[in-house]
Amino acid sequence: MGETIIAKPADVRAHSNMPDYAAARAGFDWAAERALLSPLGEGRISIAHETVDRHVAEGNGGRTAIRWLGRDGERREYTYAELQRETARFAAMLGRLGLKRGDAVYGLLGRKPELYIAALGTLRAGCVFCPLFSAFGPEPIQSRLEIGAGKALVTSAALYRRKVAGLRDRLPALDHVLLVDGGEDAGPGCRDLAGAMAAEDGTGAPVPMQPEDPGLLHFTSGTTGKPKGVVHVHEAILAHRATGRMVLDLRPGDVFWCTADPGWVTGTSYGILAPLANGATLVIDEAEFDPSRWYAILENERVNVWYTAPTAIRMLMKAGKDMAAGHDFPALRFMASVGEPLNPEAVIWGNEVFGMPFHDNWWQTETGGIMIANYRSMDVKPGSMGRPLPGIEAGIVEVTEEGATEVTQPGVIGELALKPGWPSMMRAYLNNRARYEKAFRSGWYLSGDLAMRDADGYFWFVGRADDMIKSSGHLIGPFEVESALIEHPAVAEAGVIGLPDPTAGEIVKAFVALKPGFEASEELRLDLLGHARKRLGPAVAPKEIEIHDSLPRTRSGKIMRRLLKARELGLPEGDTSTLETGA
């Protein structure tokens, strides 16, 4: 590594929002950043004000905030002033329905304008917004709604019917289901969203919030136990705004396309909040990935800044350079990638096809915003996640029983850790204080990722410190998948691993052992796959299932995922001294 360096020309550096990384880092201060907010009196703030109302108040209400591209060619645009009115109507409706400050409103919807209005309208009302990925199956949806005690859900009639209706009696807190396409006859226990909003005039102001009041709830999977509800506060917008400016090089009026779905943290922090806080125009594409469509959007919408993910980039590479050759991207200024490490070939491919590299960066649901990045003004070492943001202290630590100790020697692998205190840091795992406290040791937040830092201060991802699976940039907890599999009547035990995949990074692979009386067959294997898909949805369900006579366990009875993976990949099996004999 480090043989290839993509150097940045002087004019690119000079025209970057942050022309000099070292100087910006030396001079950075979160207090100065806080002074850039537009406060609502008595130290109150609101994400809704920073992302929408502020621009209208500053005379930019006529600027396009959202440019929505429907799957079938339909287009819809909202100016900042229109977005202010729509989100105010949504917020007023929540009040009319009896929702109180701090109540949780969930979104389960494809990329429709209503989802963006619901997110911002929820924040405006002082409620907490929680996005769910629409490709989740009923089980991930139920556990997430339960843990967060969701009071209202914004979804579509089809998604509700397929994924939520059957759970409704197990969700006592869920008072309101609002259907974006409900019409007059929305169904029992449901309401038509447009009808419910119609009574509101859209003039109410955002509820002024304390900087430490919760605003966002994002779920992340764990290796054991239920998913964790990561709580972010209104002050997080400071980090969204600052990272949008320093990393994504966003400027007012820019056309910005983040391809992530708001069901995941990237699609909220950078698909909604950071660009709007910086006064940009969001491009939202409702359709799924499609190479020719994507090149056309980049060209025709004159995208200035593009934030995407390694899986998509690798699929574009597979589709071939010729497909890009017929297009011209004179407006494109900056390209970034997140989700999993971007392989050096993909960084370099970007440089060949678009005349600029993809800039990889690193962060997590828990960090709320970008923490380590490659910047427009900084030379890129393909394969590296870059260097910590101004205002962020990152380190490589060795974790022992005694605590976490920083390793300053370059090239040593350890756990990637951050010094707590940045504004978008998670404030809690909902109702799970013990797990939250475990994430912090000796004055460090421990990321669970293994990495190393080179002599120039660039960080390099090495792997996960635990059994978590990264597929298409999404973190999937093996426990959630195993739990669904063992609910099948034929399954005695299940072990789930991430299998390396050239496109998705990893895919979910499950190994199961059957209960006595069941015979392995192709029919049964397909039945298990269908069972997992129905419960978990395509985003979480395994892509491959293998039936084994037994699975390796430790003497204490835990399935050894690490060993399953080593065997699958033909790697040395490592220390198997705790292995139960006969497995």
Partner 1 sequence: MTPIETAIAEELRKIAPDIDAAEIDHAADLRDECDIDSMDFLNLVTALGQRYGLEMPEADYPQMRSFGNLAAYIAARAS
Binding site for partner 1 (CB under 8 A): 71, 135, 158, 162, 288-293, 311, 315, 318-320, 323, 472, 503-504, 507, 526-527, 529-531, 533-534, 537-539, 543
Judged by beta carbon, residue 230 or residue 338, the one nearer partner 1 is: 338
Q: How far is the CB of 74 from partner 1 (least distance, A)?
A: 14
Q: How far is the CB of 444 from partner 1 (least distance, A)?
A: 35
Check residue 386 and report its DSSP letter: B
Q: How far apart are CA 528 and CA 542, in angstroms?
A: 10
Q: How far is the CB of 291 from partner 1 (least distance, A)?
A: 5
Residue type, 470: K
Q: Residue 377, SS3? A: coil
Q: How far apart are CA 87 and CA 213, in angstroms?
A: 19
Q: How far apart are CA 145 and CA 129, in angstroms?
A: 12
Question: Taking Cα atoms as reference points, which of 100, 105, 91 lies closest to residue 49?
Answer: 91
Check residue 145 and report its DSSP letter: H
Judged by beta carbon, residue 133 or residue 363, the one nearer partner 1 is: 133
Residue type, 276: L
Judged by beta carbon, residue 135 or residue 426, the one nearer partner 1 is: 135
Q: How far is the CB of 174 from partner 1 (least distance, A)?
A: 22
Pairing status of strand 128-132 against strand 104-108: parallel
Judged by beta carbon, residue 72 or residue 184, the one nearer partner 1 is: 72
Q: How far is the CB of 527 from partner 1 (least distance, A)?
A: 7
- Let me know: does 398 contact 411? Beta carbons within 8 Å: no
User: What sign does the CA torsion over 399, 401, 404, 409 have?
Assistant: negative
Q: How far is the CB of 510 from partner 1 (least distance, A)?
A: 14
Judged by beta carbon, residue 318 or residue 558, the one nearer partner 1 is: 318
Judged by beta carbon, residue 2 or residue 320, the one nearer partner 1 is: 320
Helices (H), 15-135: 21-27, 30-34, 47-48, 54-55, 80-96, 113-124
Q: How far is the CB of 530 from partner 1 (least distance, A)?
A: 3
Number of helices (H), then strands (E), in the chain: 21, 28
Q: How far apart are CA 315 and CA 295, in angstroms?
A: 12
In the block, residue with structure tokens 């304390």: 210
Judged by beta carbon, residue 235 or residue 506, the one nearer partner 1 is: 506
Q: How far is the CB of 542 from partner 1 (least distance, A)?
A: 12
Judged by beta carbon, residue 530 or residue 574, the one nearer partner 1 is: 530
Calculate helix-pair angle for 80-96, 113-124, nearest 10 degrees. Answer: 60
Calculate helix-pair angle for 522-536, 478-486, nearest 10 degrees. Answer: 120
Helices (H), 265-371: 265-268, 274-277, 291-300, 310-319, 321-325, 344-354
Judged by beta carbon, residue 231 or residue 507, the one nearer partner 1 is: 507
Phi, psi (degrees; rounded to nearest 5) at 196: -70, -30
Judged by beta carbon, residue 275 or residue 339, the one nearer partner 1 is: 339
Q: How far is the CB of 288 from partner 1 (least distance, A)?
A: 6
Q: How far is the CB of 135 from partner 1 (least distance, A)?
A: 6
- Let me know: does 495 contact 482? Beta carbons within 8 Å: yes
